[in-house]
Amino acid sequence: MCFIYPAAATVAKTLLLWHPNVIYSLSKTMLMKKVIFVLILVIAGNLAIGQQNTGFKQGQVISPLVSGNAVTFKLYAPHAQKVLIIGDWEAGGGKGTLTRDTSGVWSCTISDLPSDIYYYRFIVDEVPMLDPTNVFERRDVGTLFSVFIIGGGKGDFYSVNDVPHGNVIRTWYHSQTYKTDRRVTIYTPPGYETGKAKYPVLYLLHGSGGDEEAWVGTGSVDRIMDNLIAQGKAVPMIVVMPNGNPSKQAAPGETKDNFNYRPAMSNAFPGYKDGSYETSFKEIVDFTDSHYATKAEKPQRAIAGLSMGGFHTLFIIADHPETFAYAGLFSPGINFSTLNMNYPAYQHLDDKLLQLKKDGIKLYWIGIGSADGLLPSVNAYRAKLDGLHFPYQYVESTRGHLWTNWRSYLLQFAPLLFRN
């Protein structure tokens, strides 16, 4: 059992230590001004719970501190022996060590970062942790990361700017295939709520281990669409982000498993690679068309996805040539050697691609990083497409199987949609 501090057991002290809202209470009940002042400093420093000295010190540390294309990380860890940082910037693998000053503050600076949104964690004597002075985090599959933005380029598209904002809706549709309600995240563009127009729809799929929160959270979709639309670079569109793991109703924490659902990478869930998701995808399209102000016709529908979602995209559009006019395969996971091609969804792919071409697909877009382990299988698939004289656009970016590429691919792909 946990040893409890008897000396800390008074209600008043408990409140002081634990809850930020209590400062409101305190200011009303006239404690000593000095005490309030110190507490405000503590609380302003993002440390409502903590030993008082710790809190005061942590409150003086600002991390991360972005200046142009450089970022400085700081951590007050006076007893630590070694503080590492791991992030998703490229140079040196995004891994480094912080150095300690005499006051117990560890720090390091990384310069010349390209504009983007970045993810990082500290490792303090083998214990991984978020930056305690940075309240902004994103979850990717089963890991939380602290985040920061380097502006002046792509990062500006991943930022909230002073432009009209769309809505983000978490809703549920009923799946006849899986006999359950399933959650879906939907972006509607600025002006949608006036009810005056109908909109085209982009169906945007996550990767393995992801869920219906992935594109809005780590993918910054709402920011990207708001900014592209505001700049006239993309037409206003609805973006529908379903959950591609048929064994779960919804994202971690949003199912009846609650906090017992420990998200992890997996391709082994039921319903993956049996084609059921691909063949049943029309359920999601029908839900969208019946509940939202869509232009419910093929030329006004696009589908795209990253990694496993690129695999899904490939077969969903191949199986529904009458439904979608645009496809985006972002670092798609399309090595067919592990696939049971006897499932109807996966059969006769060449014939389906030829039908897709004949029916007049407007855009078939493939993007992958030069350092992505999936590049060989994408090259093999491109050879197949070339053999079929199937038209597609191909973008080979730098780097690997990373969100920096997938956000960037969306920035390139969305402007190409629904132009006529």
We find the least distance from the C-beta atom of residue 12 to a copy of itself, in angstroms, to be 8
Q: What is the pairing mode between strands 137-140 and 143-150?
A: antiparallel
We find the least distance from the C-beta atom of residue 324 to a copy of itself, in angstroms, to be 23
- CA atoms of 147 and 37, how far apart (whole Å): 30
We find the least distance from the C-beta atom of residue 319 to a copy of itself, in angstroms, to be 22
Residue labelled with tokens 């719970």 = 49
Residues 6+ apart with CB under 8 A from 334: 310, 311, 314, 374, 377, 378, 381
We find the least distance from the C-beta atom of residue 334 to a copy of itself, in angstroms, to be 8
We find the least distance from the C-beta atom of residue 317 to a copy of itself, in angstroms, to be 20
Q: Does the protein bind a copy of itself through residue 99 (CB under 8 A)?
A: yes
- CA atoms of 46 and 131, how far apart (whole Å): 11
Among 139, 273, 301, 352, binds a copy of itself (CB under 8 A): 139
Which residue, 270 or 373, has its beta carbon nearer to a copy of itself?
A: 373
We find the least distance from the C-beta atom of residue 322 to a copy of itself, in angstroms, to be 26
Which residue, 49 or 197, has its beta carbon nearer to a copy of itself?
A: 49
Among 105, 113, 116, 124, binds a copy of itself (CB under 8 A): 124
**Which runs of E-coded beta strand occur in 272-373?**
301-306, 326-330, 363-369
Q: What angle do CA 20, 21, 24 make, to 5 degrees?
A: 115
Site string for a copy of itself, 157-196 (x = CB under 8 A): --xxxx-xx-xxxxxx--------x-x---------x---
Tokens found for residue 96:
């480094």
Among 67, 247, 267, 379, binds a copy of itself (CB under 8 A): 267
Expressed in angstroms, the distance from the first to the final Cα of the chain is: 67
Tokens found for residue 288:
């969208």
| Contacting a copy of itself within 358-397 (CB under 8 A) | 371-374, 376-377
DSSP letters spanning 101-166: -TTSEEEEEE--PPSEEEEEEEEETTEEE--TT---EEEETTEEEEEEEE-SSHHHHTS--SS---
Among 114, 115, 130, 384, binds a copy of itself (CB under 8 A): 130
Q: Does the protein bind a copy of itself through residue 44 (CB under 8 A)?
A: yes
| Contacting a copy of itself within 213-242 (CB under 8 A) | none
Site string for a copy of itself, 57-96 (x = CB under 8 A): xx--------------x-xxxxxxx--xxxxx-xxxxxxx
We find the least distance from the C-beta atom of residue 196 to a copy of itself, in angstroms, to be 13
Nearest to 401 by CA among 364, 378, 373, 366: 373
